[in-house]
């Protein structure tokens, strides 16, 4: 059985919430008209059950069912 869960890697930019970290994921996208690559950064809130991860840690996050209004990812490893 295969799952269609997204796995993204990024850097923790905030750990001030309880059991939640904010992860900044940077990707390269191609401009549709000018064909030039540019960098975009998106921030995701991810569940961190035991508050292991601190600011600056490189982590991987995986999509889950929504845990709150904004949080639908979970930290799986560093």
Q: What percentage of the chain exceeds 70 in pLDDT?
A: 97
State the burial class of residue 8 (Cβ atoms within 10 Å of its Cβ: 0-12, 13-18, 19+): middle
Beta bridge partners of 1: none
pLDDT the model gives residue 2: 65
State the burial class of residue 74 (Cβ atoms within 10 Å of its Cβ: 0-12, 13-18, 19+): middle
Distance of alpha carbon 5 from alpha carbon 19, whole angstroms: 21
Domain over 7-77 is classified CATH 3.40.1010.10:
no
Radius of gyration (C-alpha) of the chain in whole angstroms: 14
Structure confidence at residue 77 as a pLDDT band (50, 70, 90):
confident
């Amino acid at each position: 059985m295969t799952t269609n869960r997204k796995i993204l890697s990024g850097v923790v930019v905030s750990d001030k919430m309880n059991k939640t970290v904010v992860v900044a994921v940077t990707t390269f996208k191609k401009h549709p008209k000018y064909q030039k690559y540019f960098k975009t950064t998106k921030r995701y809130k991810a569940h961190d059950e035991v508050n292991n991860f601190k600011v600056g840690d490189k982590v991987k996050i995986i999509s889950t069912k929504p845990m709150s209004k904004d949080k639908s990812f979970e930290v799986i490893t560093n």
